[in-house]
Homo-oligomer: A and B are copies of this chain.
Amino acid sequence: MIRSTPQDDNSAFLPGAKSLARKLTRFMPLTDDDLRMLDTLPISEERFPADTDIIGEGMQPRSVFLLQEGMAVRYRCLADGRRQIMTFLLPGDLCNPHMFLLKTMDHSIGTLTPVRIAALSRERLVGVFATHPRVSAALWWTSLQEQAMLHEHIVSLGRRDAKERIAFLLCELLWRYDAMGLAEDGMYSLPLTQTELGDAVGLTPVHVNRVLRDFRTQGLILMKHRMLKVLDVEGLQEVASFSKDYLHFDGASAEVLNYLNRLEA
């Protein structure tokens, strides 16, 4: 059965900091103490409707927050209206561990769907870095992962053609959702208009449409009710020469794990 977003079944509803915990454990196992600490971070919950700015360019960065439910994007607009989406924010994504150091936001964060976020205590977050090296390492890992995604995005826009770009994005989202347990059998929520997709991959909505049609007629994907089903994962990955190595779901190096374990003892 297919549902439209926001999902109101509990598969996407992760109270406390569970979505963050889920994400961090993709990098390394966390102790019960680590998990308890994570659960003390959220201090309030906020909801935003779809197509709203959570925070806009030029504003002063407010609290660090965690996306719990829904989909959001980092984006920037040029003076003449051209728009570019830099990042997709999915449940479990932190935003932004140390942004508060800056005077003003250099980009906006906006919702694509209704969204639920948890504001995190800045003090306790700083405390985590001091007292929980394992969580701290996992948080750093998330920022490395984000950096790697930005790198790949640059490669896509700079050197990949339209089909490769779109296939690549769809693959990235598939594996990110999968890592959070939010993709089932190649299917996940994709609540984007073709204009928004174009704003992410640097193409016009018209061209996005044509590429998606080709993918559909080739039996690679199926789109319905703002859900995407990847029918042929291998095939789609091949179009984009996609390899999920850059997402670093393979965990921390043994050396780092040993080091952190020694600190524990």
Contact = CB atoms under 8 A, between A and B. Distances in A.
Interface of A: 60, 74, 76, 78-79, 82-84, 86, 98-104, 106-107, 129-130, 137, 140-141, 143-144, 146-148, 150-155, 157-160, 199-202, 241, 245-246, 248, 250-253, 256
A29 B138 CA distance: 30
A155 B84 contact: yes
Determine which residue in A151, A241, A250 has the highest number of CB atoms from chain B within 10 A of its CB, and name it. A151
Contacts of A153: 154
A83 to B, nearest CB: 7
A12 to B, nearest CB: 27
This protein's copies in its complex: 2
A104 B245 contact: yes
B84 A253 contact: no
A159 B202 contact: yes
Given A98-B144, A101-B140, A201 B84 contact: no
Contacts of A79: 241
